[in-house]
Structure 1
Amino acid sequence: MTESSAPRIAVIGSLNADVTLWVPRRPSPDETMHADRIEWFRGGKGANQAVAAARLGASVVMVGCVGDDEQGRWLRSGLVAEGIDCRHVASVDVPTGLAVITVDPDDVSIVVAAGANASLDTEGVQAAAGEIAGADALLLQGEVSVDAARAAAEIARQHEVIVVLNPAPYNDVAPAVLPLADIVIVNRAEAEQLHQSHSGGSAAELRPDVVLVETRGAAGCVVRASRTVPPSLRTRDSDGIGEHINVPAPQVAVVDATGAGDAFAGAFAVGMASGAGPHAAAQFAVRAGAWAVGVAGAQPSLPMMAQLRGFEDVAAQARP
């Protein structure tokens, strides 16, 4: 990633209280299983990506909703402690969003109850229009309403702000925002859903100049960048434009994969917003994701810039 003044990132997304359970294996139907460990963490894909970007040196504004309850106040205080602008995180009369996460030796499963996150509407987004228009990049996911995500993307496009979409989970937000996205970050399952939506003639159409990034866990990621540069990227480094690049990840011991995708998305957005090209941004992002899997919980696992700089030697060893 290139060095520059602090990039400005606007995040429109979810804020959840995460209860994480470590289990010996996936339970069978009708089976009651005892967890080995339980912990509460601050989470939500939007909040996670906001924290990821802030810890990597970005100036971040968060737009979303929490409940007027203890968990909502806990989530907000965590973002404020990270230096994130929370003026547009509204408190509503709906319980704060909740995620129940089970971690077994082979994988992670997550059940999300949207709660207050579903209350974010176009009015809430329009209230933050100035912050979105003044950002270097906008980060969007699939855990807020279609109308809110689309409204934010439209504001960003009008002002040539980089629109980064991480369609997770893959739902109705994707077809509404994909035509406006400059950068789309998907994992293997989401990549297959994206392919199926194209095969079926869905309205989920990518722009011809989009940068498509597929994360592949321990194998790193693949960056597919058109030779046609989107207007919002024309002042950026051309490194990686017009190429399909495999970017390996450092080989690390996995403690908990929760939050690794958010670490990647936040880091990629920071890289691009700082002036890096897709290839350099991807190299930066795979290091952030690799760091995250070594720490339990979503937000506790998101690295600081100093930690990633110390990770450089490990990353270099993983490259061919």
Structure 2
Amino acid sequence: MSAPKIVVVGSLNADVTLWVPRRPSPDETMHAERIAWFRGGKGANQAVAAARLGAEVVMVGRVGDDEQGRWLRSGLETEGIDCRHVAGVGVPTGLAAITVDPDDVSIVVAAGANASLDADGVQAAASGIAAADALLLQGEVSAEAARAAAEIAREHGATVVLNPAPYNDVAAAVLPLADIVIVNRAEAQQLRQPDARGCVPELRPDAVLVETQGAAGCVVHPLRGAGPPAEVDGEISVAAPQVAVVDATGAGDAFAAAFAVGIASGATVEDAARLAVRAGAWAVTVAGAQPSLPTMAQLQVQLVRPDRRGGRRHRPGRER
């Protein structure tokens, strides 16, 4: 079978990660226990994750015309990702400063070149988006660019997967077009809050809302009259395997990409959620974002599972 085709419109960042014994207090200077540089950005992370899970991936984004930008692009190309729409611009490559303490991860992002991606840049990749099985979007490029990509995808029947992280104006622009919305617990609360005009963002009536819950796994919430690609009769909870946490950076990206790959491969929403939970759990066991993203072989995916009649059934497209 051919590999699922996924286009990612999103960010590319150079990640500087600092491990600290605890969160600094206000006005406190603290020495880090370790420092490391990693390739990152939510868009690039999800592109790498999808490629490692067997998808044919096109990345659409912007980097600076600098050493870090060339480093990020070469990393994607090494993964077999089509980077013809990753252009260099005359502002610095995006940067993420990440602190990892024993309890949590904190991230400060400077958009840099990522803010340069606009609707015209997305239109240049329209043929790739039109041919995709799924489009992956996040909150680290402009709402204009994300909306343009979602409109192209919907026009041509590609599944629109939105991971509104960080939660910002991209959510309001894309939610009405998204088939699948993946949020963590904080973003789920933001999703229910009215904006400055007193309006709560509208989701498609047949959309599927997936809430990740860290070590607890995820919950899939079908909305009103959920239809394709939902195949969901009611709320589904998927437990996560117990693992030793090293660094949670990239776990959400591993989850979102795995969910998109599952759906693009023809899996049910429940099976896609199970794959995504396993990918997210794997990612927390390795330091760094992109180094932690698993392959399908590493996840040891079960190709068959019991059906409700006690037999076993095979899901087409699960071989990857």
Aligned to 1:268: 259
* 1:201 Cα deviation from its structure 2 partner: 4.0
**Aligned-partner SS, 2:221:** strand
CA distance in 2 between partners of 1:75 and 1:263 (Å)? 18
C-alpha contact (below 8 Å) 2:192/2:201 kept by paired residues: no
Aligned to 1:67: 64
Aligned to 1:57: 54
Give the alignment's Cα RMSD to 1 decimal. 1.8
The share of aligned pairs that are identical, in percent, is: 79
CA distance in 2 between partners of 1:260 and 1:26 (Å)? 20
Aligned to 2:154: 157
Aligned to 1:145: 142
* 1:273 Cα deviation from its structure 2 partner: 0.3
* 1:199 Cα deviation from its structure 2 partner: 11
- Residue 83 of structure 1: which of 80, 84, 105 is its match? 80
TM-score (norm 1): 0.92
Name the amino acid aligned to 1:66. V
**Aligned-partner SS, 1:42:** strand
Name the amino acid aligned to 1:257. A
**Aligned-partner SS, 2:193:** helix
**Aligned-partner SS, 1:40:** strand
Q: How many residues align?
A: 304
Name the amino acid aligned to 2:251. A
C-alpha contact (below 8 Å) 2:7/2:134 kept by paired residues: yes
- Asked if 1:190 is matched to 2:187, the reply is yes
Name the amino acid aligned to 2:8. V
C-alpha contact (below 8 Å) 2:42/2:140 kept by paired residues: yes
Aligned to 1:9: 6
1:227–1:305 distance in 2 versus 1, CA, 3 Å: same
* 1:195 Cα deviation from its structure 2 partner: 1.1
**5+ unaligned residues in a row in structure 2: which ranges?**
303-320
- Asked if 1:125 is matched to 2:116, the reply is no
Question: CA deviation digits over 1:203-253, x for unaligned, max 9?
Answer: 52111111000000000000012473556x3xxxx64x2320010000000
- Asked if 1:225 is matched to 2:216, the reply is no
Question: CA deviation digits over 1:91-147, x for unaligned, max 9?
Answer: 000000000000000000000000000000011000000000000000000000010
Aligned to 2:290: 299
**Aligned-partner SS, 2:85:** strand
Question: CA deviation digits over 1:156-215, x for unaligned, max 9?
Answer: 011111000000000000001000000000000000000113897425211111100000
C-alpha contact (below 8 Å) 2:258/2:279 kept by paired residues: yes
TM-score (norm 2): 0.92
1:90–1:214 distance in 2 versus 1, CA, 3 Å: same
- Asked if 1:250 is matched to 2:241, the reply is yes
Aligned to 2:269: 278
1:283–1:152 distance in 2 versus 1, CA, 3 Å: same
C-alpha contact (below 8 Å) 2:192/2:200 kept by paired residues: no
Aligned to 1:317: none
CA distance in 2 between partners of 1:126 and 1:94 (Å)? 21
CA distance in 1 between partners of 2:25 and 2:221 (Å)? 39
Higher helix share: 1
C-alpha contact (below 8 Å) 1:227/1:242 kept by paired residues: no
CA distance in 1 between partners of 2:183 and 2:223 (Å)? 17
CA distance in 2 between partners of 1:226 and 1:187 (Å)? 17
1:167–1:37 distance in 2 versus 1, CA, 3 Å: same
1:230–1:152 distance in 2 versus 1, CA, 3 Å: farther
Deviates more, 1:112-121 or 1:220-229: 220-229
- Residue 27 of structure 2: which of 13, 26, 30 is its match? 30
